[in-house]
Amino acid sequence: MTKKIDDTTRYERLRERMGNGDIDRRSFLSLLGAAGITTGLSGGMMTSMASQARAAGTELNFEGWGGVVSEALRKNAFSPYEAATGNKVIDATFGGENEVLTKIKAAGNTDGHNILHSSGVSWYKRWVDNDMHTKLNEANIPNMANVMTAMTDAFRKITPDGLSAVPYNYGTTGIAYNTKYVTPEKAKELGANLLLDPSLKGKIGGWGGDWANRAWYGALQSDQDPNNIQDWDAVWDKAREHRDLVLKYWSSGAELMDLLAKEEIYVTEAWSGRVAALQAQGHPIAYMDPPNGLAWMESMFVLKGSPMEAAEELLNFMLDPATSIAVASGQKYPSALDPTKVEMPADVQALPAFDATGKLETLVFRDPETWNPEEKDQSKTWNRVQKGG
């Protein structure tokens, strides 16, 4: 009996050392064996240790948006998670989720694809409709209790029996402009039509990776409600007008920042966090959300075939308030954690789109029931328009 008590104490001490980062998981298991502790442990602890041994070295493939966002996730979430668990996160950059979906369909499986930094409710529904989703065990993600219900409810409407993702951040796609060449007065006067200003021809940019983004702005420019478009021809006419003024369609957040920082473009629609990052670096870039500008919420989506326990452990780690706030500060997008439950620091409260109420009622989101049915036809139209049609 004394042997079991002693071994239990030594086991817990070793676990504490591993949790503090003093030893890694491989050393933890080696020390257990060297000390002969396993022979004196109860069945429950042996089961726990066996589970840990099986989990050691688990790899999770993460795909995200690159640049400052990926840097923030690596520094504040992935590296600490790896140190705490012994698992490995292999992070890669994509140009858009359609790129990932195309690869998975071509391969016929999700091998090499586990967690995506996914663009909100519309893409959540697309992954579900393509039968790529999972069902998270939320008991393994207790930090979900701090997430804004305004965000989780949007996903639960699509999968009421269980979530396949956890909300992580949100922001807006507004308009960035260089104040050396465009005045705030002019930007406010023109709103979404600043992207169609002929005097800026050759100095205008746009995101070419998403037909729906282009259509949203085409709707604003043709005086339509983007969630209730009645005249698609008018939308694409505006997209053609914009195309003829564009220097380049950017394909990633990193490229967006580079084009603005080098002053290759003066005006573009832009992601709020990327503009905040440029402002923090001292660039003279201003940002505005035109009326009915596009807001979005992003999630960490777990694909079918992923190692679920390891994925849930990572998601819970990422939703820890200290981690989530550190990532928000680094990537410049507000955290999905409810600010009425978790106190946010001043720098997060100052971010574009931050909602102190936690209800997100002032933001306009894309309605997946309206937009997703248009995907097949309208994406083809955008491909033709982008190529000069």
Find all residues with CB under 8 Å of 277, minimum gap 6, and list them. 68, 257, 331, 332
Q: What is the pLDDT along the chain (389 residues), one digit of tens a residue?
A: 433 345 445 545 555 554 454 554 444 444 444 444 443 444 444 344 434 444 457 999 999 988 888 899 999 999 999 999 999 999 999 878 989 999 999 999 999 999 999 988 989 999 999 999 999 999 999 999 999 999 999 999 999 999 999 999 999 999 999 999 999 999 999 999 999 999 999 999 999 888 999 999 999 999 999 999 999 999 999 999 999 999 999 988 889 999 999 999 999 999 999 999 999 999 999 999 999 999 999 999 999 999 999 999 999 999 999 999 999 999 899 999 999 999 999 999 999 889 999 999 989 999 988 998 999 999 999 999 999 98
Using DSSP's 3-state secondary structure scheme, residue 85 falls into helix
Find all residues with CB under 8 Å of 245, minimum gap 6, and list them. 195, 196, 197, 198, 200, 201, 202, 204
Task: Say which residue the tokens 């505005």 belong to.
Answer: 288
Superfamily of domain 59-170+296-349 in CATH is Periplasmic binding protein-like II (3.40.190.10)
Pairing state of beta strands 165-178 and 285-288? antiparallel
Would you state the pLDDT for residue 251? 86
Would you state the structure tokens that stand for residue 30, as one six-digit string?
């080696």
Amino acid at site 4: K
Other Cβ atoms closer than 10 A to 21: 10
Q: Any bridge partners for residue 177, and if so which?
A: 267, 286
Task: Say which residue the tokens 């507000």 belong to.
Answer: 334
Q: Are 137 and 110 in contact (CB under 8 A)?
A: no
Would you state the pLDDT for residue 12? 54
Q: Are 324 and 343 in contact (CB under 8 A)?
A: no
CATH number of 171-295+368-386: 3.40.190.10
Would you state the pLDDT for residue 44? 44
Would you state the pLDDT for residue 216? 97
Would you state the structure tokens that stand for residue 223, as one six-digit string?
């005086």
CA angle, 370 as apex, 366 and 375 as ends, to 5°?
Answer: 90
Q: Any bridge partners for residue 61, and if so which?
A: 90
Would you state the structure tokens that stand for residue 17, as one six-digit string?
């050392």
DSSP string, 136-203: --GGG-GGGGGB-HHHHHHHHTT-TT--SEEEEEEEEEEEEEETTTS-HHHHHHHGGGGGG-GGGTTS
DSSP string, 102-121: HHHHHHTS-TT--EEEE-HH
Would you state the pLDDT for residue 94? 87
Q: Are 166 and 141 in contact (CB under 8 A)?
A: yes
Amino acid at site 70: S
Q: Distance (Å, rounded) from C-alpha 210 to C-alpha 227?
A: 16
User: What is the separation of C-alpha 221 from the centre of its chain, rounded to a whole number of angstroms?
Assistant: 27
DSSP string, 329-378: HHHTS-BSB-TTTSPPPHHHHTSTT--TTSS-TTS-B--HHHHGGGHHHH
Q: Distance (Å, rounded) from C-alpha 162 to C-alpha 139?
A: 12
Would you state the pLDDT for residue 14? 52
Q: Are 12 and 41 in contact (CB under 8 A)?
A: no
Among 176, 103, 166, 201, smallest CA distance to 312 is for 166
How large is the angle between the packed helices 308-319 and 321-331, nearest 10 degrees? 70
Number of H helices, E strands in the chain: 18, 9
Please check whether the two domains, 59-170+296-349 and 171-295+368-386, share a CATH topology.
yes
Pairing state of beta strands 115-118 and 88-93? unpaired
Any idea where the domains of the chain sit in the sequence?
Answer: 2-49, 59-170+296-349, 171-295+368-386
What's the Cα-to-Cα distance from 11 to each of 14, 16, 89, rounded to whole Å?
Answer: 5, 9, 27
Task: List the end-to-end C-alpha distance of the chain, in Å, as a whole number.
Answer: 81
Find all residues with CB under 8 Å of 32, minimum gap 6, and list them. 11, 14, 38, 49
